[in-house]
Structure 1
């Protein structure tokens, strides 16, 4: 009887999610991230337009239904990875056929490709320098900033712009196909990596591939993160299989799409030599992985002539100030406190300072996490890689919902069972309106203080735990001889 009720709940969840996806597709037509759309701005401005109320209602109800369906599948228990993937395809299909939703980055990708195709260096100038024929479709903040993406993705974007011959909707469709290919690669190697770690691949597929973030942000928004994540997971899997050269090459391709994948690269070395931790074995594995990385990235850099110029473009990724980044939120909250004492001029400086502290903490955390991962088994090393990616995501100057796919995918492959990743995923689905407006801008004060309170709480718990461990280790020395357990 239980099996019958479980199958019924799964069927309800599948069609509930499909209904949510159809409503979100309708929201995309009513007021998504369309070229020239007038639905840009705060919820109040959206509601003032003729179709705005219908768009927001479809977005809110559709997102809620997709989240509820996803949670219902997780609570019931997915019967197989194949069932999850089929369900995910059903949920994604309406969004794949609708206009872009929740982000205007696809237009930035198109214009950056056009800049490279036009003979300019996309790492030195922004799309306005060409000027890009679709400049008016981009967010204002990115029109004069160089590209922060790797040479492989810029070459892909340029090739698509050339093939499309000036037709923007063809560019959007082809960039979305690249995103779909990336998610497909993620699906293949997420399952393989999970099985290699002794983890239920059905549960892993549910957590990472069936959430609304995939359809709304990765597919509809055509984000390049999907391709980067797929290559990164493939690199980790081949490291588990002890193929260091191929693993390094895949990481070279992943970094040539987006730099974040490089955080997981040192853990590939540990996977190759596990459970060894001797310096000689680590050095040999590092050499092989690095050789594959340099070869793959070097070929792309030489073929495109772009090299590593994207490093200078990374500094522009933090021009937006949102409380979803932990250090940025702390800086914003301290700025509000400063205003109470009349120090309004310190607000921006506090954000910059908090971000600098966050990057310093991240550098220390990455080294510490890697050090603790030495000599562990495959599942543990993958888990530590997930923690490193999570630290890089949370401590970076800016966070967007689609950034969440990489850490959650690796967490899923490692069999992470805690509830908070599910909560974060569900909350991330509601962060951005259909036209791309981030609700973090309208909730800056409560959001930043909530994050600051969380940082204080976490710090207090960490110190309390360290104190408890210290007291526990000192306890045997305080026991009187007569109280000791007798030998034998």
Structure 2
């Protein structure tokens, strides 16, 4: 099981060197063989096939791990939890040294950190103000765009730029920071699972070791992993040690990406006594908000970066993504309007549906904050899952790695058999499809054939009779709650 997953990660690394964007100055590109493989359609197809094979091995190893730890009871669960953590380390190791996989965001992080190091505000300028290797692999779409991220990733990038200007090394440094989120999840998820009476090893396997996490969180190198780790830590600290420290962690989560601050709603709920009045809720919410916002503003000012990131929050919404429900619905309405010859402005319904989705997500957050039970840890976990899940579903832009925001909290909840099966299936599918993005540089044949490969792999992994029996064993007892 561990060996199979390690082999899968190594294949993902090797195939990723073919399909991923690399700076032109990268030493590896001095190899004529590698350049020839990367430059041909057939070569990129081979690279994609190797990546998909590796992800398939990881998925199979992960399902085997889930089957193994799901049946652990009593003291066996401690050994099972140790096995899960060991598997995460082993399977992640080859990916740590990889270039940013399946997304070019990591190269943007490297460039933005270098800008901060040089005293150029990433909140006022895009990476195009730089020259040389550090911007060679940045997506042209974002070269002129300011960063929407908070000060913490930029401070980390500034620190790494003290030691090197090599973009690959800078990207690995950012991955190390993201992996701190994985460490926080490894600490927090078992605790949340015990609150709800679930198997902590199984919850950890779902949250930490899935293809979704390994492909998008570790290989993809996204700030979202650090953000969700801080969110989970904030909730645990609120329940076990007090709300002030938790609010600080919530502010730190927002200082990575703004949605991380939403965990503060659950921090307030879990820190209140049972049956708290509305007035008590409002006072605690205000206090938590003051501490978290104070932390966020303080970090922005102390680092010298300021609050310019507020102006960059709209940057992600400048693109349309096929995973965004509101974008799909709004775009469909606009298409019907054009076909019908109504003469309405372009993107009228797109903007309207997106705004409605955002307002609905805000309404759900307010409803949870003012009406859900207080003083209950299991309810607090569900509150985070509900608020963040609603935001992801209704967001105007959704990427694969956004599903990392909610998965650790869903893994620590009692789910129906259908929901538990769906979470397992989604964790596999969202990992397998990670390579099929813009990193293929217009290799449309590769994308189509890769999608067909995934369409074959998913039934083999999930829908065969043997696979259904295995999945049923995992979810039969709703994550096998602790007796």
TM-score, normalization: structure 1? 0.80
Q: Which moved more, 1:302-311 or 1:367-376?
A: 367-376
Which position in structure 2 is the counterpart of 1:360?
359
Which position in structure 2 is the counterpart of 1:234?
233
The whole-number CA distance in structure 1 between the counterparts of 2:40 and 2:334 is 32
Task: Tell me the CA shift for residue 156 of structure 1.
Answer: 1.2
Q: What do the CA deviations read for 1:433-454 (whole angstroms, capped 9, x no partner)?
A: 277448999799xx9xxxxxxx
Which position in structure 2 is the counterpart of 1:148?
148
The whole-number CA distance in structure 2 between the counterparts of 1:400 and 1:133 is 27
Task: Tell me the CA shift for residue 49 of structure 1.
Answer: 2.8
Task: Tell me the CA shift for residue 350 of structure 1.
Answer: 3.1
Residue 82 and residue 240 in structure 1: after superposition, are their counterparts in 2 closer, same or farther (change >3 A)?
same
1:19 paired with 2:18, answer no
CA contact (8 A) 1:31 1:435 kept: no
CA contact (8 A) 2:2 2:61 kept: yes
Which position in structure 2 is the counterpart of 1:159?
159
Q: What do the CA deviations read for 1:438-472 (whole angstroms, capped 9, x no partner)?
A: 8999799xx9xxxxxxxxxxxxxxxxxxxxxxxxx
Which position in structure 2 is the counterpart of 1:86?
86
Which position in structure 2 is the counterpart of 1:58?
50
Residue 412 and residue 440 in structure 1: after superposition, are their counterparts in 2 closer, same or farther (change >3 A)?
farther
Which position in structure 2 is the counterpart of 1:479?
none
Which position in structure 2 is the counterpart of 1:431?
433
Q: What do the CA deviations read for 1:402-459 (whole angstroms, capped 9, x no partner)?
A: 2111211112233445222223222211333277448999799xx9xxxxxxxxxxxx
The whole-number CA distance in structure 2 between the counterparts of 1:343 and 1:57 is 46
The whole-number CA distance in structure 2 between the counterparts of 1:25 and 1:352 is 39
Which position in structure 2 is the counterpart of 1:212?
211
1:110 paired with 2:98, answer no
Which position in structure 1 is the counterpart of 2:475?
none
CA contact (8 A) 1:148 1:316 kept: yes
Matches within 5 A, 1:235-254: 235-254=234-253
CA contact (8 A) 2:151 2:255 kept: yes
Task: Tell me the CA shift for residue 46 of structure 1.
Answer: 7.9
CA contact (8 A) 2:92 2:214 kept: yes
The whole-number CA distance in structure 1 between the counterparts of 2:343 and 2:5 is 46
Task: Tell me the CA shift for residue 147 of structure 1.
Answer: 0.6
The whole-number CA distance in structure 1 between the counterparts of 2:436 and 2:176 is 20
Which position in structure 1 is the counterpart of 2:422?
420
1:169 paired with 2:168, answer yes
Q: Report the aligned-residue RMSD.
A: 2.9
CA contact (8 A) 2:278 2:370 kept: no
Task: Tell me the CA shift for residue 318 of structure 1.
Answer: 1.4
Task: Tell me the CA shift for residue 320 of structure 1.
Answer: 2.0
Which position in structure 2 is the counterpart of 1:381?
380
**Count of aligned positions:** 426
Matches within 5 A, 1:432-447: 432-433=434-435, 436-437=438-439
Residue 440 and residue 260 in structure 1: after superposition, are their counterparts in 2 closer, same or farther (change >3 A)?
farther
Task: Tell me the CA shift for residue 303 of structure 1.
Answer: 1.1
Which position in structure 1 is the counterpart of 2:224?
225
Task: Tell me the CA shift for residue 199 of structure 1.
Answer: 2.8
Report the secondary structure of 1:315's partner residue. Answer: coil
Report the secondary structure of 1:120's partner residue. Answer: coil
Gaps of 5+ in 2: 30-36, 73-79, 452-483
Q: What do the CA deviations read for 1:271-318 (whole angstroms, capped 9, x no partner)?
A: 000423213432443354234324432431221223332121011111
CA contact (8 A) 2:373 2:379 kept: no
Question: Which structure has the larger Rg?
Answer: 1
Which position in structure 1 is the counterpart of 2:393?
394
Which position in structure 1 is the counterpart of 2:272?
273
Residue 32 and residue 131 in structure 1: after superposition, are their counterparts in 2 closer, same or farther (change >3 A)?
closer
The whole-number CA distance in structure 1 between the counterparts of 2:67 and 2:440 is 29
Q: Which moved more, 1:178-187 or 1:91-100?
A: 91-100
Gaps of 5+ in 1: 1-12, 39-44, 448-488
The whole-number CA distance in structure 2 between the counterparts of 1:73 and 1:347 is 50
